[in-house]
Amino acid sequence: MKITLTSICLVATLNFLSAQEAATPAISSIDTTNFPTLGKVIRIDPGIDDLIDTTARIEMIGDGFVWAEGPLWVPGKDGGYLLFSDIPRNSIMKWQEGVGVSLFMKPSGYTGVENYGNEPGSNGLLLDQKGRLVACEHGDRRISLLTGGGGKRTLVDNFAGKRLNSPNDACMKSNGDIYFTDPPYGLPNRYEDKRRELDFCGVYRLAKDGTLSLLTKEMTRPNGIAFSPDEKTLYVAQSDPKAAVWKKFPVNADGSIGRGKLFADATESVGKLPGLPDGLKVDARGNVWATGPGGVSIFTPGGKLLGRISTGEKTANCGWGGDGSILYLTADMYICRIQTKTKGAGW
């Protein structure tokens, strides 16, 4: 057989991919209605009883992922399904009731030919006003749109001509504007990566007309992001172990934001409980469900801590699904859910 440079490269690539897959755990596709449970609900204030029943349990509906993120419910005639990112595997996975877990998309966030660190895939996911999938892509350093006819469009990949760091999480305003965060976690060497072109980690607004605006660069590691039900407040998590906080920003009529104020602070819990402030969602009553040290902390609109959904794992993100009352969680290698007595904002 004639050995060529192409064949040598192909073998090397296949060997690399095989090694990567061998180093990751097998995915468990649970297709039962009798799911195992984990963790517990920690009740700090009686007000949590109005949000989570005392009989509610954290169900584990899938496991074996490397680092699960970005849970997104996609409604449909067949009851709908959950999409979520497995960032190290550069994949978007799909979970459906009675079916279990399957691969939805690969690659999901990096289409290059070289090894691109430990977190190359997509992270936060959302649906645009037409129900199309929008993804925060680490490796390709962009916000992308999955078109109805197949393939992707790049919505944005730079600010003032300089490449974004690695878009992390996003939310959509009712007018179609996308607000997103851009920390360095998707870069192979993170903040010190030589490929960085911006010397800050920004929070941005991508207007429906394609205009990109820098809203603030005051946060050291902006991460999860969500609006209050009336869209007058923007919440942003900061996953900095030295300042593990959530901030709130007033939203101006033109879509810009005012200066941030401290909403809640979990810095004292860093290292004592697993995780850092990461993804967050808001319910229809304005309560904030924020992943962070110890699981998902539940705050009133005024910042009072009502309780915590404690998974026992580093909990990356959460998202509403089903009829809007089920909270889905990505907790390290697990996909979980818990029934609530409220619904997500916008449901």
**Amino acid (1-letter code) at residue 298:** I
What amino acid is encoded at 102 in this protein?
Answer: S
Q: Which of the four pLDDT bands, split at 50, 70 and 90, describes residue 123?
A: very high
Is 277 inside a domain boundary? Answer: yes
Q: What are φ and ψ of residue 219, in 5° steps?
A: -95, 135
Does residue 10 lie in a domain region? no
First to last CA, the chain: 62
Q: Let me know if residue 69 belongs to a domain.
A: yes
Could you give the 3-state DSSP secondary structure of residue 270? strand
| pTM strictly above 0.85 | yes
**Is 70 exceeded by the pLDDT of residue 149?**
yes
The answer, yes or no, to whether residue 18 has pLDDT greater than 60, is no
Q: Are 28 and 63 in contact (CB under 8 A)?
A: yes
Instruction: Give a yes or no: residue 297 inside a domain.
Output: yes
Range of the domain at 142: 28-339
- So what's the pLDDT on residue 28? 58
| 267 to 80, 190, 210, 264: CA distances (angstroms) | 37, 21, 36, 9
Residue 11 falls inside a structural domain: no
Collapsed DSSP state (helix, strand, coil) of residue 9: helix
| Structural contact between residues 328 and 71, judged by C-beta atoms closer than 8 angstroms | yes
3-state secondary structure of 13: helix
Residue 8 counted as domain residue = no
Between CA 73 and CA 213 the distance in angstroms is: 28
Q: How many domains would you assign to the chain?
A: 1
Mean pLDDT confidence for 78-82: 93
**What is the SS3 assignment for 32?**
coil
pLDDT tens sequence across 51-67: 999 999 999 999 999 99
259-318 pLDDT per residue, tens: 999 999 999 999 999 999 999 999 999 999 999 999 999 999 999 999 999 999 999 999
Q: Which CATH number do you get for residue 277?
A: 2.120.10.30
Residue with the bigger pLDDT between 78 and 47: it is: 47
From CA 281, how far away is CA 171, in angstroms rounded? 9
Question: What number of CA atoms fall less than 13 Å from residue 296's CA on the CB side?
Answer: 30
| 179 within some domain | yes
Strand order in the sheet with 212-216: 170-172, 178-182, 202-206, 212-216
Q: In sequence order, what DSSP letters do the residues of 272-329 get, joined into one string?
A: TBS--S--EEEBTTS-EEEEETTEEEEE-TT--EEEEEE-SS-EEEEEEETTTTEEEE
Alpha helices in the chain (DSSP H): 5-22
In a domain, 345, yes or no: no
Range 112-136 burial, b when 16+ CB lie within 10 A, else e = eeeebbebbbbbbbbeeeeeebbbb
Percent of all residues in the chain with a pLDDT value above 90, rounded to a whole number:
87
